[in-house]
Amino acid sequence: MDVQMPGMDGRQATEAIRTWEAERNQSSLPIVALTAHAMANEKRSLLQSGMDDYLTKPISERQLAQVVLKWTGLALRNPAPERQNEAPEVHVGPLVLDHEEGLRLAAGKADLAADMLAMLLASLDADREAIRVARASQDVHALIERIHRLHGATRYCGVPQLRSACQRAETLLKQNAPHTEAALDDLDKAIIRLEAEARVMA
């Protein structure tokens, strides 16, 4: 949603959409602001108007793909064509283990980074089982709570793939959105991949 539209601006349009949804008891459509401003008070105002997120101009294709995935669970299927003489990227998407990120999150302290990762890995089996049980019993509240806790733990470790999977699953569960089951499957696979890679790296 472009914030600076002529006539009805982005905030007014968003407020009208939210009113329409509320009157008809409709689930909320994700609305992402597109703005040229990045000031904190501007961002706060946009979110208060009913928008879910914001992007600051100019935006890249990668940023667009990330925000679409975050709020809809859908990946953009048509990436830009590969340029001639440009080596293809082997890796697509977030890394399973990113030790550089882990070190950065630990303020450059290698022992702290290792401890935080070890704590996360030690709880993964219990987290995975709790998510499986909540999913089997269709306990959405318990699912959201457990995934939220796991998501919080990933913020202190270099595990971008698991962090992204947690964020996507939690967002879709809260919205009661389509693709939630696929997101939960992806989260389970992300846990398995992290455990496997951690064993290899040990």
Residue pLDDT, tens place only, 113-139: 899 999 999 999 999 999 999 999 999
Task: For 2, list phi and psi in degrees, rounded to 5.
Answer: -70, 125
Q: What is the dihedral of CA 91, 189, 159, 198, to 10 degrees?
A: -90
Six-digit token string for 158: 């270099």
| Res 118: pLDDT | 92
Residue 166 in contact with residue 127, Cβ under 8 Å?
A: no
Q: Mean pLDDT of all residues in the chain?
A: 82
| Res 93: pLDDT | 64
Residue 72 in contact with residue 29, Cβ under 8 Å?
A: no
| Res 82: pLDDT | 44
Residue 102 in contact with residue 113, Cβ under 8 Å?
A: yes
Segment 43-94, tens digit of pLDDT: 777 777 788 777 777 777 777 777 777 776 666 555 444 444 544 444 446 7
What SS3 state is found at 173?
helix
Q: Where are the domains of the chain?
A: 99-201
| Res 19: pLDDT | 84
Indicate the pTM of the whole model.
0.57
Fold of the domain spanning 99-201: Four Helix Bundle (Hemerythrin (Met), subunit A) (1.20.120)
Q: What own/partner pairs with CB < 8 Å and gap ≥ 24 does 28-33 have?
A: 28/52, 28/175, 30/71, 30/72, 30/175, 31/1, 32/1, 32/67, 32/71, 33/1, 33/3
Other CB atoms closer than 10 Å to residue 7's CB: what's the count?
6
Angle at 86 between CA 83 and CA 92, to 5 degrees: 90
